Amino acid sequence: MGDATIAERGSDAAEATAAEPHSAPSHSAPSHSAPSFSALPLQPNELRYLVLAAQREGNRALARRLEPLGLTPSQAEILLVLADFGPLNLVELGRYIVCETGSPSRVVDALVGRGQVTRETSPSDRRAVDVALSEAGRALVPQLRAIEDEIDAATAGQLSETEAAWIAGVMRRFLAGTNSADALARRFHGVTG
């Protein structure tokens, strides 16, 4: 099964689950001949927890790499979005991010306090305020990009391009019609709307 794609493993798991539709998970101690975690049949309610666990593990890995910079994943995301699309007002910024739900103002306030982001009067509307990277914020961008590249390389070491594309397609379908899908389409694919 080592050469099987995620799609094939998912199919195998679905077939195994169909054969035993609602078998209770075994709570006994694992034996030395137990199948690998990836080969176990999918249990009811497990998929949601697998997605949550993958997100948490990814966030923990990112947080560990950001710790020497004193940044959180949400702060790093905002700095990178401002590097790519700024200056932006808070509403516009909120349309590009997925780490922070609702308004990003709390995270922006922390970044302003650290001197990494500035608030400026919008040149197009004197009543509006834009946020932009400061010199200190711009100086962090190469390090943040390197951290993203490290995480991507670690992922690439675990998945083939075909597997990664398959997972991305499934996740995009799962997220379709959500604010997060809109933010990701806008940020990574230039889709507006």
Q: What is the mean pLDDT of the chain?
A: 86
* Residue 173 covered by a domain: yes
Query: Distances from the Cα of 172 to the Cαs of 129, 177, 179, 186, 187, in angstroms?
Result: 33, 9, 12, 13, 14
- If one compares 162 and 8, the residue with the highest pLDDT of the two is 162
Mean pLDDT over 45-71 rounds to 96
Residue 68 DSSP symbol? G
Contacts 24+ apart (CB under 8 A), 142-150: 143/69, 144/66, 144/69, 144/71, 144/76, 144/79, 144/80, 144/83, 145/80, 147/62, 147/65, 147/66, 147/76, 148/80, 150/65
What is the C-alpha separation between 113 and 60, in angstroms, rounded? 24
Claim: this prediction has a pTM higher than 0.85: no
**In terms of domains, do 164 and 91 share one?**
no
Q: Write down the pLDDT at residue 101.
A: 72
Amino acid letter, residue 15: E
**In terms of domains, do 81 and 139 share one?**
yes
Mean pLDDT over 147-156 rounds to 93
Q: Would you say residue 165 has pLDDT above 90?
A: yes
Q: How many domains does the chain contain in total?
A: 2
Q: Write down the pLDDT at residue 100.
A: 78
**In terms of domains, do 143 and 163 share one?**
no
Q: Write down the pLDDT at residue 35.
A: 81
Which has the closest alpha carbon to 99: 111, 87, 114, 115?
111
Token digits for 100? Answer: 């922070």
Mean pLDDT over 147-173 rounds to 94
**In terms of domains, do 129 and 173 share one?**
no
* Residue 12 covered by a domain: no
**In terms of domains, do 144 and 163 share one?**
no
Q: Would you say residue 14 has pLDDT above 70?
A: no
**In terms of domains, do 166 and 138 share one?**
no
Q: Write down the pLDDT at residue 7.
A: 38
Phi/psi for 130 (5° steps) reads -100, 150
Asked if 80 and 99 count as a contact pair (C-beta separation under 8 A), the reply is: no
**In terms of domains, do 129 and 72 share one?**
yes
**In terms of domains, do 127 and 90 share one?**
yes
Q: Write down the pLDDT at residue 4.
A: 40
Q: 181 is in which domain, residue-wise?
A: 159-192
**In terms of domains, do 123 and 74 share one?**
yes
